[in-house]
Amino acid sequence: MEPMSTCKLFGAIRALIGIKNTIPVIHGPRGCAYHIRYLLSARSGSRIRICSTELSQEDIVFGAENKLKETIITVDRTYKPELIPILTSCSTSIIGEDIQKVARELKDEINADIITISAGGFESDQSGGYEEVLETLIKDITIPNRANGKTKKPSINLIGVFRGGPDLLKLKKTLKNMGILINCVLTSGSNLEDIKNIPLAHLNYSFCDISGIIPCKILEEEFGIPYVYYPFPMGFSNSLNFFKTLIDHFNLNYPLHEEYDKLKPSIDYFRQKLDGYKAAIIAGPTRAIALASFVRELGMTPVLISIDLIGEYTLKELKWAIGDAKPKVLIEPELGEIENFIKKEQPHIILGGLGESYFSYNLKIPVLDVMHGKELTWGFQGALSISQKILNLIRE
Ligand code: SF4
**What digits encode the pLDDT tens for the residues 209-234?**
999 999 999 999 999 999 999 999 99
- Same domain (yes/no): 281, 388: yes
Number of H helices, E strands in the chain: 17, 13
In a domain, 221, yes or no: yes
- Same domain (yes/no): 91, 168: no
CA of 27 from ligand 1 middle (Å) equals 11
In a domain, 263, yes or no: yes
Task: List, in order, residues 6 or more apart from 201 with CB less than 8 Å away.
Answer: 155, 156, 157, 183, 184, 225
Which atom of ligand 1 is found nearest the CA of 28?
Answer: 8
Give CA–CA dist 18/23, Å, rounded: 10
Give CA–CA dist 158/294, Å, rounded: 22
pLDDT value of position 361: 85
Which atom of ligand 1 is found nearest the CA of 35?
Answer: 5
In a domain, 77, yes or no: yes
Which residue's C-alpha comes closest to atom 8 of ligand 1? 32
pLDDT value of position 69: 98
pLDDT value of position 101: 98
CA of 270 from ligand 1 middle (Å) equals 43
- Write down which residue in 214, 229, 244 finishes a domain: 229
Total domains in the fold of the chain: 3
pLDDT value of position 150: 86
Structural domain for 318, as ranges? 256-395
In a domain, 2, yes or no: no
- Same domain (yes/no): 32, 74: yes
323-359: per-residue pLDDT in tens? Answer: 999 999 999 999 999 999 999 999 999 999 988 988 8
Which residue's C-alpha comes closest to atom 6 of ligand 1? 121
pLDDT value of position 153: 93
- Same domain (yes/no): 119, 54: yes
- List the beta bridge partners of residue 280: 304, 350
pLDDT value of position 360: 84
Ranges under pLDDT 50 in the chain: none
- Same domain (yes/no): 173, 269: no
**Helix, strand, coil in percent for the chain, rounding step 5:** 50, 15, 30
In the chain, the percentage of residues whose pLDDT exceeds 70 is 100
- Same domain (yes/no): 372, 272: yes
pLDDT value of position 44: 86
- Same domain (yes/no): 342, 374: yes
Distances in Å between the Cα of 18 and the Cα atoms of 22, 164, 298, 320 are: 8, 8, 33, 31
CB 264 within 8 Å of CB 255: no
pLDDT value of position 43: 86
- Write down which residue in 119, 140, 161 finishes a domain: 140
